[in-house]
Structure 1
Amino acid sequence: MVVVRNVLIALIAVLGLAFAWLAFEWSKSGSATAEKPYGVAFNLVDQSGAQITEAAFQEKPTAVFFGFTHCPDVCPTTLFELDGWLRQVDPNGELVNAYFVTVDPERDDHEILGQYISNVTDRIVGITGDPKDIRQMAKGYNIYFKKVPTDTSDPDGDYVMDHTASVFLLNNGGRFKGTIAYGENPDTAVKKLQNLIKG
């Protein structure tokens, strides 16, 4: 009995050491990931037709939203609300960058995107590009989107896009800081942006 008990104690000690080592390794890999800019490299165009890369997301604290111009409610609401929050936390527009990336580049060229956004705000810059490049970029930022026909009997007809509706917050350097959910309490959203600015 004593031998069995000693073996069990030794086994528990070994397992404890193994779990401690795994926890240490996980914490190391987690902190290393947190030090890297979020997402992937990309080469797209902004609403003026100028080239834009991931470097734009690393210049200063940044808010990024993915949507499309034919969106019936989520996208215009988010653009309007984000514009208001930005004006509260950064009245001069010097502390936070904000971007709207289309998930419907087949319809949203840079001119259409620019017209759409400028009807709501001058604080948010639109991003579009080749559909393949948009897919790759969105995948790298863990964005879900899917084309959904509005008439199931005509799959090649008009459509809307299901997509992730959160605003992604990246700190100075492009590291992931958090999200603002669609429909989030406005005071909470403002606080998150204030915290983003503070670093």
Structure 2
Amino acid sequence: MNPIIPAAAVVAVAATLGATWFVTRGGSDSDAFAQCRSSQIAGGADTIGGPFELLNAKGETVTDKDVITKPSLVYFGYTFCPDVCPLDVSRNAETIDVLDERGYDVTPVFISVDPARDTPEVVGDFAANLHERMIGLTGSDEQVRAASKAYKTYFKRHEDDGDYYLVDHSTFTYLVLPEQGFVEFFRRDETPEQVADKVGCFVDNI
């Protein structure tokens, strides 16, 4: 990709490239959450997500079982992102507040795809500044790539930009349930209210 393309455009392109497995159409009759879905995953929802091992804000090793203890909105991004990530993660934080008002307890999770700069402290501060309940996670290159691969996200660092490099990455937010795992994704143009409506449907039908 051409590094002179504006960051938002680059990320949008990356998101498109990284999402070829998402098909926008309704769920099947055998899907327990069919009435909640606005999209279907090619190959099935169970092909997305799975175990991961990362570091939390305290530098402690945590697994998906430690993190996904409640319905969770999971986003892969990085704290040095100049435009897209702050908007997306702020939308997710607003969604959590809307869900709180409606009586739903949902956890926002931010996973960094830039472990070289996003130390546990950095990612923890970033998450805490966006929402008091947001969990910030990072890890080694290997740990982050494994988590990204599990969720079929895309990211690629611009190697020629020195210390101020950008990272192309997917921009989907994932709804993950403790027992069911990944069940739905949300595009960045959906409002907090729209995401909250869909999350509520899934939680009501567990």
Q: State the TM-score, normalized to the length of structure 1.
A: 0.73
Identical aligned residues as a percent: 30
Match of 1:197 in 2: 203
Q: 1:55 to 1:70 in 2, by over 3 A?
A: same
Give ranges in structure 1 of 5+ residues lacking alignment: 1-26
Name whichever of 72-81 and 93-102 sits farther off. 93-102
Question: Deviation at 1:187?
Answer: 2.8
Question: Deviation at 1:186?
Answer: 3.4
The partner residue of 1:65 within 65, 69, 75 is 75
Cα separation, 1, equivalents of 2:106 and 2:202 = 9
Question: Deviation at 1:41?
Answer: 2.1
Q: Tell me which amino acid in the other structure corresponds to 2:76.
A: F
Match of 2:164 in 1: 158
- Alpha-carbon RMSD: 2.7
Cα separation, 1, equivalents of 2:180 and 2:64 = 8
Match of 1:49 in 2: 59
Question: Deviation at 1:98?
Answer: 1.9
Match of 1:172 in 2: 178
Cα separation, 1, equivalents of 2:114 and 2:141 = 8
Deviations 1:19-73 (A, max 9, x none): xxxxxxxx9xx9x965x59423222111122221021354221110000000011
Q: Decide whether the 8 Å contact of 1:71 with 1:161 is kept in 2.
A: yes
Question: Deviation at 1:119?
Answer: 2.0
Higher share of residues assigned helix: 1
Please say which structure displays the higher CA radius of gyration. 1
Match of 2:96 in 1: 86
How many residue pairs get aligned? The number is 165
Name whichever of 41-50 and 54-63 sits farther off. 54-63
Matched, 1:111 2:121: yes
Deviations 1:88-128 (A, max 9, x none): 11249972122100000010000011122222211211001
Give ranges in structure 2 of 5+ residues lacking alignment: 1-30, 32-40
